[in-house]
Amino acid sequence: MGGATMDCTTIDVAAVERKGLSRPGSSKTLPRIAQIKLVSQHPEVYEPCDDSFALVDALLADRANLLLHQPTLCLEIGSGSGYVITSLAIMLGSETPTAHFFATDINPHAVETTRKTLEAHGVHAEIIVSDIASGLQKRLKGMMDVVVVNPPYVPTPEEEVGQEGITASWAGGENGRRVIDRILPIADELLSEKGWLYMVTLTENNPSEICQLMREKGYGSRIIVQRSTEEERLHVIKFWREKGDEGKEGSKFGGSGVGSWLSQLPLLSFLRNNGSSN
Amino acid sequence: MRLLTHNMLASNIKGVTSGYPLRIEAHQSAAKEADFNADFLRNVFPKIDWPALVSAAKTLGYGDLPEEAEPSMLESDEFLRRFHHALLEVHVEEGALVCPETGRRFPVNKGIPNMLLHEDEV
């Protein structure tokens, strides 16, 4: 957290947006995201930092696909300050007016902070104090078209996991995987057939193993943003169900081409599976 | 908390089979205007548990929803307006959501439901 950013995909646009600056002549074409000066704060709530920025940058980088995706329900698990869900709501809002947003956090202060940040930007999400998605899981099974999560990924002693307050925003237990490994099956349950998951991971979390775990559940994956700071190496990974496979190829095959694309799936997934076993 | 949120919440206490819908105990409710979006309503309609919405709206004093609804009604502007109001404009500000099987109360404070479970409920 903190430190110099050395390896960024979309830093220019996002950095300009975060500061609320506008580029001469181009401000209208830039997709908007949450402004840091309007993000609410609380001593027990994690402030937007490099990992939050990486996640928003990943969503921005994938925004064209998200617009084609036409999500109805979107969820952020662990919304903290509200910076990410607010940014998602802003960047999709005007062009996908049928999208609706949910946000959860285990920390009641965080949920309250999320609410203030959303309100300060004039956007809305349904907010719930919840452990990952407790209370939502049953009814929203298979309904979420987009799930985003910046999990508590920092490797810590096991006893720090699940503590109250701000600790819950980063304490990840062994290899930082304690909470991530609980989130993955829940995300799988929540995601719709066309659903996409965006998740921040740290190199210490062993992202390739996470991708392998998700592959066993039938998901393809792709790194959208990689970023190194002085302290950590972050990846934002996108997951999608291989069956529909609109994630990776959405920009190419979105819209009217989907029908013929689906008919080629058995062959393509066969090829892909063969390719990945090496 | 909008009734859309209520419609998506269920009690997940260990041993509870359905836990749905949660009964609303509203100590304070409010009506807040929301942007009307017919396309959103049509998209979200299949995901809504209609009887749960009707009963929640009644609890909060809004009785204008038909007891039963089917997709063809989404052509009617009047139906959409009522659906919109119940789903997005009626809010529970203070109160609780009560598990229909155990009576466990999930508090709603400042319009935010708290679905966290105690250790012995997980």
Q: What is the pLDDT of residues A135-186, one digit of tens each?
A: 999 999 999 999 999 999 999 999 999 888 899 898 999 999 999 999 999 9
Task: Give me the residue from A72, A126, A138 closest to B43, CB to CB.
Answer: A72
Q: Is the pLDDT confidence value at A261 over 80? A: no
Name the CA radius of gyration of chain B, rounded.
15
Q: In Å, how far are A37, A232, A262 from A149, measured between CA atoms?
A: 22, 18, 29
Those residues with Cβ within 8 angstroms of residue A44's Cβ, 6 or more apart along the chain or in another chain: A107, A109, A110, A165, A166
Can you give the pLDDT at residue A214? 97
User: Which value does ipTM take for this structure?
Assistant: 0.95
Q: Is the pLDDT confidence value at A251 over 50? A: no
pLDDT band at A243 (very low <50, low <70, confident <90, very high): confident
Closest residue in chain A to residue B42, using alpha carbons only: A98
Can you give the pLDDT at residue A163? 84
Q: In Å, how far are A85, A154, A181, B45, B53 from B101, measured between CA atoms?
A: 33, 38, 30, 27, 19
Task: Give me the residue from A111, A129, A138 closest to B10, CB to CB.
Answer: A138
For residue A276, which of A242, A227, A233 has the smallest C-alpha distance?
A242
CB contact under 8 A, A135 and B9: yes
CB contact under 8 A, A98 and B40: yes
The one-character DSSP state at B2 is: B
CB contact under 8 A, A126 and B8: yes
Contact list in B for residue A98 (CB cut-off 8 A) is: 37, 39-40, 43-44
A positions 72-111 inside 8 Å of B (CB):
72-73, 97-98, 100, 102, 106, 108, 111
pLDDT band at A29 (very low <50, low <70, confident <90, very high): low
Mutate to test the interface with A, among B20, B36, B112 (most CBs of A within 10 A): B112
Which strands form A73-77's sheet, in the order they lie side by side?
A126-129, A100-105, A73-77, A144-149, A191-202, A233-241, A219-228
The runs of H, that is alpha helices, within B9-91 are 38-44, 50-59, 77-84
pLDDT band at A100 (very low <50, low <70, confident <90, very high): very high
Can you give the pLDDT at residue A5? 40
pLDDT band at A131 (very low <50, low <70, confident <90, very high): very high
Contact list in B for residue A102 (CB cut-off 8 A) is: 5, 8
Q: Which of A11-25, A144-158, A180-194, A225-239 has the lowest mean pLDDT?
A: A11-25
Contact list in A for residue B1 (CB cut-off 8 A) is: 126
Can you give the pLDDT at residue A229? 84
Three-class SS state of B97: strand
Residue A116 CA neighbour count, 13 Å, CB half: 15
Task: Give me the residue from A97, A112, A139 closest to B10, CB to CB.
Answer: A139
Q: Is the pLDDT confidence value at A271 over 50? A: no
Mutate to test the interface with A, among B5, B8, B101 (most CBs of A within 10 A): B8
Q: Is the pLDDT confidence value at A106 over 70? A: yes
Q: Is the pLDDT confidence value at A15 over 80? A: no
Q: Which of A106-110, A249-253, B87-91 has the lowest mean pLDDT?
A: A249-253
Can you give the pLDDT at residue A249? 42
Domain A11-241 has CATH 3.40.50.1400: no
Residue type, A157: P
- A190 and B CB contact within 8 Å: no
Mutate to test the interface with A, among B22, B90, B106, B115 (most CBs of A within 10 A): B115
Q: What pLDDT digit, counting tens, does each position of B19-43 carry?
A: 999 999 999 999 999 999 999 999 9
- Angstroms from B67 CA to nearest CA on chain A: 21
Q: Which domains does chain B carry?
A: 3-121 (2.20.25.10)
Q: Which of A121-125, A250-254, B33-37, B53-57 has the lowest mean pLDDT?
A: A250-254
Q: How many CB pairs under 8 A join A and B?
A: 79
Name the CA radius of gyration of chain A, rounded.
18
Three-class SS state of A61: helix
